[in-house]
Amino acid sequence: MDRKTILAVILCLGIYVGWQKLYLEPKYTKDAIQAVQPLGGSAAPQGTNGDSVGTAPKAPVSAPSSPVKKLASQAFPLETSNGFSAFGNGSHALLAWDLKEYKLGIQKDAANVSLQSVIHEDGAVSLAFEDSRFAYLNDIIGRLGTTATGATWNYSDENIVMSREIVTSLGLPYADVKLTAEFKTQPPKYAFVSLNAKSPEGDAEEQDRQFVYWTNQSLERVQIKDISQKEVTTPIHYIGATNRYFLMALVAQTTDAPSGLIQPTGSHAGRISMVYPVVGKTLTIPLRVYFGPKELNVLRSVDAKLDHTIDFGWFTVFAYPLLKILKWFYGFFENYGLAIILLTLLLKIATYPLTYKSMKSMKKMAKLQPQLQKLREKYKDDREALNREMLSMMKNHGYNPMAGCIPILIQMPIFFALYRVLYSSIELYHAPFALWIHDLSSRDPFYVTPVLLAGMMFVQQKLTPNTATDPAQARMMQIMPLIFGAFMLALPSGLTIYMLVNSLASIVQQMILNKKLDPAPAR
């Protein structure tokens, strides 16, 4: 990897990460969110047909005229292929969901990843209505029953009859839930199926905690930590709450897709809802509910569009085959650290023709530097003449300025796609490598690999042709290894291993190219 390549990689990576963190992610919650009345205001957002939708009630406003017998809280255990869940008899259909194969830490006694560890709420999947006459339903407790494939929940009073049915299977990673409401009095206009989540302040993964929803054939993301109210009038296929590796999703199973509503419910907390119009006195809402890892094949088995919740960035088209190759290498060695090393070497071999072309162009440019410097001194006061003479000289010597840039630009999408694969893939979650690296999804605990990377990049600079004539540019190139090494300190060790191996392979490649492009003079 030559100096221009190193500089281009560093600058492009900085722009890419900065663009995502400083522009795209805030854009989801600031630029893209309409200024509508916040929760608790006097005005309500408009529904899909122009009627007032209002907001899902937070607390009881009125009670039924006859007292409701209070039952004890209960939960019925259920099992899916990926974990154990609890079907509740309160306002939330799901009280818990613990995953079998994923833990919160690498210690043997670490707790399993749970629904609460992702959404930081007491439960999920609730049904509410915009009409204050039904606000008391937020606190009701119904009766649980069992079926051959799951459980049921029933509640009734003089205003409404409600039921839930959940079906699970040991062979499937999701649950099918059907919510039903029959109104004995004047029905409300809208029903809300909601999912609440918090992003605790100071949480290390706060930036990765999001609400997501699918609408208009694309996925939208909203950072939970700085959520604002937003009405989504276009049809919604699913909603969810997610961090980097795990997802809680509710997938609509009705022919007519609902609209949506996003609301803040407190500091770093919010609610995302699917909004269903109530037609007649009976309402039936079938859902598919998933909680688990953001693993491509699993997500696709739940719903074909759920795989978009994995954040592979702009270059997803490259990320999918890279992940597939990474998993293919893992199948041989059952070690993702070795798989990363082999994938890195494969990419170096595949991009060798581009590197060779770029290096050949760099060598020509290095040879022209003394003559170009003379032109700069001669035409230092005439920029137009300088450019004309420089282009003429490059043309006479067969040098094309774009010849060195195009190969680098072609490689950039692959680099960024691999960056996102190594950063976001559940496959690297708590995956061990060797020696002191026990989790490829976390930073190097002793910072060995970032320090080695800085050293390798310094060696690379010494081997690559020097095309910089500006002293400031030369100084910048000298400190780039330190800057890049410092940048890698907080990134996952899997990504640092890739960069380190890539740098080592580039040094070997550079030595070969130097001999090939600068053969020793004949004696």
- Specify whether 300 is located in the same domain as 337: no
> Given this model, what pLDDT does residue 45 score?
35
> Given this model, what pLDDT does residue 510 score?
81
- The Cα-based distances of 243 to 16, 81, 221, 322 in angstroms read 20, 21, 11, 22
Under 8 Å CB-to-CB from 407, ≥6 apart: which residues? 351, 354, 355, 357, 358
> Given this model, what pLDDT does residue 55 score?
44
Residue 221 has pLDDT above 60, yes or no: yes
Residue 317 has pLDDT above 60, yes or no: yes
- Specify whether 143 is located in the same domain as 167: yes
Q: What is the largest CA-CA distance in the chain?
A: 108
Residue 495: enclosing H or E segment and its boundaries? Answer: helix 493-517
- Specify whether 252 is located in the same domain as 155: yes
- Specify whether 191 is located in the same domain as 84: yes
> Given this model, what pLDDT does residue 85 score?
94
Residue 24 has pLDDT above 50, yes or no: no
- Mean per-residue pLDDT, 179-191: 96
Taking the C-alpha atoms of residue 67 and residue 60, their distance in angstroms, rounded to an integer, is 14
Domain count, the chain: 2
Cα-Cα-Cα-Cα dihedral of 476, 481, 485, 488, to 10°? Answer: 80
> Given this model, what pLDDT does residue 322 score?
94
Q: Is residue 217 one of the residues assigned to a domain?
A: yes
> Given this model, what pLDDT does residue 429 score?
94
Given 264, 283, 311, the domain boundary residue is 311
Q: Is residue 348 one of the residues assigned to a domain?
A: yes
> Given this model, what pLDDT does residue 316 score?
87
Residue 161 has pLDDT above 70, yes or no: yes
- Specify whether 161 is located in the same domain as 257: yes
> Given this model, what pLDDT does residue 53 score?
39
Flag the least confident range among 47-56, 135-144, 363-372: 47-56
Q: Exposed (0-12), middle (13-18) or buried (19+): which is 36, by Cβ within 10 Å? A: middle
- The Cα-based distances of 301 to 94, 144, 372, 437 in angstroms read 21, 29, 60, 32
> Given this model, what pLDDT does residue 173 score?
96
pLDDT tier for residue 481 given thresholds of 50, 70 and 90: confident
Residues in the chain: 523
Using an 8 Å Cβ cutoff, are 281 and 129 in contact? Answer: no
Average pLDDT, the chain: 81
Given 311, 334, 360, the domain boundary residue is 311
pLDDT tier for residue 4 given thresholds of 50, 70 and 90: very low
- Specify whether 449 is located in the same domain as 418: yes
Taking the C-alpha atoms of residue 476 and residue 61, their distance in angstroms, rounded to an integer, is 65
- Specify whether 413 is located in the same domain as 501: yes
Please indicate whether residue 268 or residue 24 has the higher confidence score (pLDDT). 268
> Given this model, what pLDDT does residue 359 score?
73
Flag the least confident range among 7-11, 242-246, 407-411: 7-11
pLDDT tier for residue 13 given thresholds of 50, 70 and 90: low
> Given this model, what pLDDT does residue 30 score?
39
- Specify whether 270 is located in the same domain as 418: no
pLDDT tier for residue 12 given thresholds of 50, 70 and 90: low
- Specify whether 376 is located in the same domain as 335: yes
- Mean per-residue pLDDT, 165-189: 96
Residue 266, sorted as left (phi over 0), alpha (psi -120 to 50) or beta, turns out to be left
Q: Is residue 221 one of the residues assigned to a domain?
A: yes
What's 207's DSSP letter?
G
The CATH number covering residue 132 comes to 2.70.98.90
For residue 483, how far is the Cα from the chain centroid? 26
Taking the C-alpha atoms of residue 193 and residue 129, their distance in angstroms, rounded to an integer, is 9
Residue 288: enclosing H or E segment and its boundaries? Answer: strand 282-293
Please indicate whether residue 413 or residue 177 has the higher confidence score (pLDDT). 177
Cβ neighbours around 33 below 10 Å, total: 17
Flag the least confident range among 74-83, 185-194, 345-354, 371-380: 371-380
Beta bridge partners of 305: none
> Given this model, what pLDDT does residue 40 score?
31
- Specify whether 373 is located in the same domain as 247: no
pLDDT tier for residue 399 given thresholds of 50, 70 and 90: low
Q: Is residue 62 one of the residues assigned to a domain?
A: no
Under 8 Å CB-to-CB from 142, ≥6 apart: which residues? 71, 89, 90, 153, 154, 155, 162, 164
> Given this model, what pLDDT does residue 10 score?
54
Q: Is residue 177 one of the residues assigned to a domain?
A: yes
Residue 198 has pLDDT above 80, yes or no: yes
Q: In sequence order, which ranges of 100-238 are alpha helices (DSSP H)?
A: 115-119
Residue 275 has pLDDT above 80, yes or no: yes
Q: Is residue 346 one of the residues assigned to a domain?
A: yes
pLDDT tier for residue 335 given thresholds of 50, 70 and 90: very high
| Domain extent at residue 279 | 76-311
For residue 252, how far is the Cα from the chain centroid? 22
pTM: 0.80
Q: Is residue 159 one of the residues assigned to a domain?
A: yes
Taking the C-alpha atoms of residue 346 and residue 340, their distance in angstroms, rounded to an integer, is 10
- Specify whether 451 is located in the same domain as 359: yes
Taking the C-alpha atoms of residue 74 and residue 139, their distance in angstroms, rounded to an integer, is 14
> Given this model, what pLDDT does residue 41 score?
32
Q: Is residue 22 one of the residues assigned to a domain?
A: no
Given 311, 346, 375, the domain boundary residue is 311
- Specify whether 349 is located in the same domain as 447: yes
